[in-house]
Amino acid sequence: MSRVSISEVNGMSEEQFQWVFKNVIELCQDAAEQVKKCRPFRDIAELCTAFHKYLDNLCLEEKLVILKLHPDLAGRLASQGELTKESTEEQQSAGLDKLTLIQKRMIDICNERYKEKFGFPFIICARENKVQSIINGLQTRYNNTKEQEIEIGINEVKKICKLRILDIIKEN
């Protein structure tokens, strides 16, 4: 899809807007449904802020739902080629499609241990990381409290969301 300008975003029909932004938060179409009502946007920053505010305004239970919508990094869906297009590209950009057997095993074990403790998957903005920083994150963040990890996880979702929006919109 070629990139669109912010004025084109403002002029989209509701259906177009929902279709274009349906996955800027992984598998959460409700975000686009709510954010479309905040138009017009002056620039990309305002549009990003609207999606970020959507996340901030969710209650704790709803934040947990958002976190749980994310696929594991280098997990089963990735091996089966069943990730969303966005997630596939992000995981590739971090090098998660080229893991050594030892790295894969390490990530699998850490992902399972993390999910067992917190009840949702470990989330990190893959495009801002490489394999080693992801493994480090999996190990250090495991020591956090659930409250800390919900906050960090939602912040990572915001970073992922912003980069996905930048892929859609052209700067003037």
Q: Confirm whether 52 is a catalytic residue.
A: no
- # binding residues, ligand 3AL (CB under 6 A): 15
Q: Which of 63, 70, 141, 158 is catalytic?
A: 70
> What's the token pair of residue 114?
């993390």
| Nearest to ligand 3AL of 41, 137 (CB atom) | 137
CA 172 to chain centre: 25
> Using CA atoms, how far apart are residues 132 and 60, in angstroms rounded to an integer?
30
CB 51 within 8 A of CB 161: yes
Coil, strand or helix at 134: helix
Question: How many other C-beta atoms lie within 10 A of the C-beta of residue 94?
Answer: 21
Residue 150 touches ligand 3AL, criterion: CB under 6 A = no
| Nearest to ligand 3AL of 33, 89 (CB atom) | 89
| Nearest to ligand 3AL of 35, 71 (CB atom) | 71
Q: Which of 20, 64, 66, 123 touches ligand 3AL (CB under 6 A)?
A: 123
Least spacing, CB of residue 75 vs ligand 3AL, in Å:
8
> Using CA atoms, how far apart are residues 32 and 17, in angstroms rounded to an integer?
7
Q: What CA–CA distances, in Å, run from 40 to 29, 67, 161, 171? A: 19, 28, 19, 16
Least spacing, CB of residue 124 vs ligand 3AL, in Å:
5
Residue 160 touches ligand 3AL, criterion: CB under 6 A = yes
Token pair 């390490």 is at which residue?
A: 106
Residue 124 touches ligand 3AL, criterion: CB under 6 A = yes
Q: Which residues would be at the binding site for ligand 3AL (CB under 6 A)?
A: 26, 70-73, 87, 90, 121-127, 160
